[in-house]
Amino acid sequence: MNFEGLYADRAKCMKTSEIREFFKLTEEPDVMSFAGGFPSAEFFPMEKVSEVITGLIDEEGKYALQYGPTEGNLDLRKYLAHKMTVEGIPSTEDNIIITNGSQQGMDLLSKLFLNPGDAVIVEEPGYVGGLGAIYNYQGDRMPIPMDKDGIQVDILALKLRKLKMEGRSPKFAYLVPNFQNPTGISMSLERRQQMLQLAKEYNFIILEDNPYGEIRFEGEPIQSMKSMDTEDRVIYLGSFSKTFIPGIRVGWIVANEGVIQKLACAKQATDLCSNSLGQRMAYRFASSGYIDTHVSSLTARYKEKCDLMLSCMDKHFPEGVTWTRPEGGFFIWVTLPEGMNARDLLYKAIERRVAFVDGAGFFVNGNGKNTARFAFSEACPDKIRRGIAILGEIMHKELAAFNKTKSA
Ligand SMILES: Cc1ncc(COP(=O)(O)O)c(C=O)c1O
């Protein structure tokens, strides 16, 4: 059977993320990998999880193993509504839908709002999962460059004006304001306020994706856009993947009641309901206060890894290479001199069993060839020390060769 020619128009543009393909290689145990943005499995509370699962099956197995409501487990939704309210986003359970991870949230929101060709504002570089969801629904992604304070709103304002002259306006802007994947950069308060202002002026929605916000090692938390939103214009995505465990696949969306009802219709056709056992686990862990304590200890341990990777970079990376110094999250973003290719460096690194992700995959139009993402979340200290030292060695050599050809 030849399926070519039978795929729907929207499926023709679907392609696997290069980054996902690349993970297969990095799973080999001797590889010193800074590629996957995974939480560290050593922080998973295995024994406690096992105890809670046993308790759940004994005490409420007939519900925990059953289908549940499409909007999600009511206790969990009430818990999350309270959590959001405490974080400055007044909510009731009617403002919350549970999703199978925030990635499903992105998919459902794209399904709900995008017609083919609709303009969508995205950060450049941006999170591949978000970019992919928009692409799969044939959204027309409009990348706006980032600087140290997040998406550059002055460039966005020019873009919006230009779009308006063409009779277009974006449906939504997709933003990861805290410790962004892939750069580790956080959007300043001023930028968040300006973003809300532009969204109002040009009448678009903001999707605020915040899976890393609670993993802050330094600096003061910055108000979410959703908490400053007076018009229900911001739709917020949360997740237990980084603060607890990703395998339960539990995320949530906060939005006005009408949007939540539409999302429930969209989700019904996708999977009927989210993981019942996972939701009940999340509820038990979260409502007992366990997750809050866990996040504090996680944050301290991720800080150690981040500090170690930064100090190894300071020691080993050559002059001319720069990198971000995140205040939280999982990622450091490295920029090589203009004209150098991070993919070439990656091939050399792989030969020495070191891996990272070159940056071009985070750019809509294949730009950013001289950039790379380094995740410090998963690797152990020994691999961080050895891997960064090896990369430093390779970089010194490559940079010397690059400078030589440039001056020739
Ligand atoms: C910015 C961002 N959003 C969403 C996700 C997906 O998270 P979840 O496991 O909740 O689907 C990730 C995962 O890496 C991410 O980095």
Domain assignments of the chain as residue spans, ordered by start: 9-45+292-401, 66-289
The percent of residues above 70 in pLDDT, for the chain, comes to 98
pLDDT tens string 176-233: 999 999 999 999 999 999 999 999 999 999 999 999 999 999 999 999 999 999 999 9
CA 156 – CA 171 distance, rounded (Å): 14
CA distance 359 to 123: 13
Q: How far apart are CA 313 and CA 192, in angstroms?
A: 31
Fill in the amino acid letter for 170: P
- pLDDT, position 21: 63
- How many angstroms is it from 64 CA to the middle of ligand 1? 24
Instruction: For ligand 1, atom 16, name the residue with the nearest CA.
Output: 181
Residue 35 has pLDDT above 80, yes or no: yes
pTM over 0.85: yes
Q: What is the mean pLDDT of residues 131-145?
A: 96
pLDDT digits 0-9 by tens, 308-320 = 999 999 999 999 9
Judge whether residue 17 has pLDDT over 70. no
Quote the pLDDT of residue 194.
98
- Cα-to-centroid distance, 211 and ligand 1 (Å): 6
Question: Lowest-pLDDT range, 46-55, 222-231, 394-403?
Answer: 394-403
- pLDDT, tens digit, 9 for 90 and up, residues 266-279: 999 999 999 999 99
* CATH number for the domain formed by residue range(s) 66-289: 3.40.640.10
Banded pLDDT at 15 (limits 50, 70, 90): confident
Assess contact for 206 and 175: CB atoms under 8 A: yes
Does CATH number 3.30.70.1070 belong to domain 9-45+292-401? no
How high is the pLDDT of residue 365? 87
Q: State residue 366's pLDDT score.
A: 83
Ligand 1 site: residues with CB under 6 angstroms?
37, 101-103, 127, 129, 176, 181, 209, 211, 239, 241, 246, 251
Distance 377 CA to ligand 1 centre (A): 14
CA distance 59 to 160: 55
User: Which residue lies with its CA nearest to atom 8 of ligand 1?
Assistant: 101
Q: Residue 26: pLDDT above 80? A: no
314 CA to centre of ligand 1 in angstroms: 29
Return the amino acid letter for 113.
F
Atom of ligand 1 nearest to the CA of 105: 11
Distances 357 to 21, 30, 41, 333 between C-alpha atoms, Å: 11, 17, 20, 10
Closest CA to 159 of 110, 119, 99, 112: 119
The residue to mutate among 241, 279, 330, having the most atoms of ligand 1 within 8 angstroms of its beta carbon, is: 241
Q: Give the residue, out of 19, 102, 186, with the most ligand 1 atoms within 8 A of its beta carbon, to mutate for a pocket test.
A: 102
Given a cut of 70, whether residue 20 has pLDDT beyond it is no
Half-sphere exposure of 395 (CA within 13 A, CB side): 25
Contact status, residue 100 vs residue 271, Cβ threshold 8 Å: yes
pLDDT value at residue 408: 75
What ligand 1 atom has the least distance to the C-alpha of 330?
16
User: b/e map of 244-262 (b: 16 or more CB within 10 Å)?
Assistant: bbbebbbbbbbbeeebbeb
Distance between Cα 103 and ligand 1 center (Å): 6
- Is the pLDDT confidence value at 8 over 80? yes
Burial degree of 191 (CB within 10 A; 0-12, 13-18, 19+): buried
Residue 57 exposed, middle or buried by CB count within 10 Å (0-12, 13-18, 19+): middle
pLDDT recorded at residue 25:
72
